[in-house]
Chain A
Amino acid sequence: MALSLATSQFIIERDETRCIACQVCVRQCANDVHYYDEENDRVLSNDASCVGCHRCVTLCPTRALTVRRNPLEFRPNANWAAETLRNIYKQAETGGMLLTGMGCDQPYRIYWDHIVLNASQVTNPSIDPLREPMELRTYLGAKPERLALCGGAQRNPVLETVLAPQLQLEVPVMFSAMSYGSISFNACASLARAAQAAGTYYNTGEGGLHPALYEYGANTIAQVASGRFGVHLGYLNTAAALEIKIGQGAKPGIGGHLPGEKVSLDISRTRMIPEGADAISPAPHHDIYSIEDLRQLIYALKEATHYTKPVSVKVAAVHNIAPIVSGIVRAGADIVAIDGLRGGTGAAPTVVRNNVGIPIELALAAVDQRLREEGIRHRASIVVAGSIRSSADVVKAIALGADAVYIATAALVAMGCHLCQNCYTGKCNWGIATQDPYLTKRLNPEIGSRRLVNLLRAWSLEIKEMMGGMGVNAIESLRGNRDHLRGVGLNQVELDTLGIRAAGQ
């Protein structure tokens, strides 16, 4: 066998004065990095297999371990980066497409970090969220053109307009689509429990809904994707809302592929496919080749659920996103979810993840602007996704025009994900992106859901603080209020696209 040119990405440093050879690291590493040398009663490590997930570091009872980037350096070259070289070595060895997990890690501009928020000083009062009520509740769904009241303008007006079905969110953050299959059952259960406890929603992804999670139906958004896995009437009717998945930020234009070895009995039942069979989601929906076709599916779903549930359409943020979303709204979607360039995935070709799509900030601003101009902004709620990392990102997204945000990477991180980007290997040491029974039990849903609820609680407190500073006491008043935003270090085209002024203006 020819020599591999791949070198270790990480090196493991074991403090021998602290290591007690207890072998916790050996037992915890699914990549078999650590091993016990019985003869010498020592634990040794094979750096080459380390993915940098920190499982061993975190569980080591004596804090004897640390993982560092391999300091091995190539000759500096502004054109040929180390990663580029490594990718070529790998491809030259395997002849295969390079795969990766999680969102784009390339240094594209992160606009959130170039947008700053306003605060009240002298001319208008700020609000102290500890003393005064702050409303984070929001509703997703189509809003009427106008409200008709009967009983005239007298004492007890009665609303005559029939409102479209709405999702009620206690916090404008939902858990984005992650399928049972791409993540473990325990991860799904953590999300479901947390959504229920926090008064928000999680999304099934295209993996169907495990019977054990039907009890969380009122907090579930059920996805209908190109593979139609696990879609049946019970599934649709159990959920609070439905979502047609057209695209995903991490891999716009690309389908999905859950390898057969991950299709366990439970997953095969949930997805309604044979055990061990590859679950292939085609790149397009083969019954949707136009806005009119999409409209047919939207209404098919509404018919199936008797117009009781909002229907969302999820698309990846791409070049002509504004007219695309306009078409989706006109096709009858109640919610449009837009997933940006930095959105995550369980598996995608690295080249696609890193090069296809546009940042969510620009897409959101363009879409909100376009829908307002067309006078149809009220007909659908906008939910944005694709690397919402903090409460500040949430506030900025809402001020840019979003009704709510989806988080997935942040939710996984809350459950223990360390962004090692090896989800596609199925060896997730944190028990999240795996179906291996040795590994899945590492995520106790009791703990997972507790951590997720804590995250949402922490963000809620922070959002209220920021809103209070701006003198805003309801999330509804912040939405699309771009006057609260200013750009720092952005050029005029970017500022214009975002619809905000430069800081100081």
Chain B
Amino acid sequence: MSMRIVIIGNSATAVGAVESIRQYDQAAEVMIISEEPHMIYSRPLLSHYLAGEIERPRLAYRGADFYVKHHVAAVLEDRVTAIEPDAHRVHTASGAEYAYDKLLIATGGQPIVPPTPGQEAEGVFTMTRLLDAERLLTYLRTHTVRRAVVVGGGMIGMKVTDALVKRGLEVTMVELAPLILSAALDQTASQMLSGLLRQAGVEIHTGNSVSEIGARGGHVAEVALKDGRTLPCDTVIFGVGVRPNVELARQAGLRVNRGIVVDEYMRTSAVDVYAAGDVAEAYDLVVDMNRTVAIWPNAYRQGMIAGAHMVGVLRPDKGGVAMNTVEAMGVPAMSIGYGNAPEGEYEVVTELDAPRHVYRRLVVKENRLVGAILVGQIERAGIYTGLIRHRIDISEHRRNLLSGHLSLLSLPDQYRKHVVRGVGIEV
């Protein structure tokens, strides 16, 4: 009898797992169980959808034939309510139970909404799922919405803000920290992006938070800030961040910290149970420890690793690098690895061309690049990522690399040959 694999979740991790399972094994039965009713869609595209840059069909992350092509049984609109690791079984909200030989928990994260008086008013939204985006878009269509307050100046808040500005709304951003994007950027880059947002008419309140949401006729009408100010607004969107969805795992007795603890093959503490993606606490090679990093590339890659291991193929995780891109007023910004590492402990090389909105911050430790922040000019940024990921000694090529002259000819010979040949290709 063929092996039965159950995957809880239906996003990047699930896709990574399915594609890697099918690369090696056509026989295994694969089942995806997802709470959402939708075909596989891309969460990061939601802000583009919200901005009106793309139509809904383009949210599809894989073709409509994905399940058929990969022989996947998809159980949609059902939620796994319990895992029995010893019995190798899961139970769902609809009362069904499914036996598994291997289980992948890819439940992702859920939005953090700080308890705020008045948050039950109509016009308050979060922004992680398609349903959230649809609700918000419906609200925008059916109500007169001119002013929006976005709570959170991190990646999510930033993307939502950018999208709403593109929709023509007046947006106010409220961030608890003294700087926006402080988790990813340093002060200079953060201020550059704040400046760009302000140019686009965005009001930014940092070191502040929403203490209460005021409603009129059940609909959002204003927010009160911690500093006492009151901002009239028509909608409030929480984009504070996400928290790993670990409840199932915790109840099943798996080892859980902030996320589900996994090894290099994404195995959890329970036999035959894997976890990957935003919910997993996997190895981050820059900080040299396990942690949750909710980014798309990690989710897909970890899914692949877990999928491969389930069907007996060992592709150990060499670790992830935290990274992300955002854009403000068409100026792209990237944060790779430990880009905002403090000076002193780390060697930091920066170059700023403020009028052209170009900034580069490179962080080096023991002759190895560990982080980069790029604003404006992002061409060939992956060369930096490669150097970080492969922990390449750059001592002989410091000048070229750190001066931003990004060229493979500035790389150490052996590494250059490796790259030129193509990663993973042996000649």
A/B touching: CB–CB < 8 A: no
A residues lining the B interface (CB < 8 Å):
none
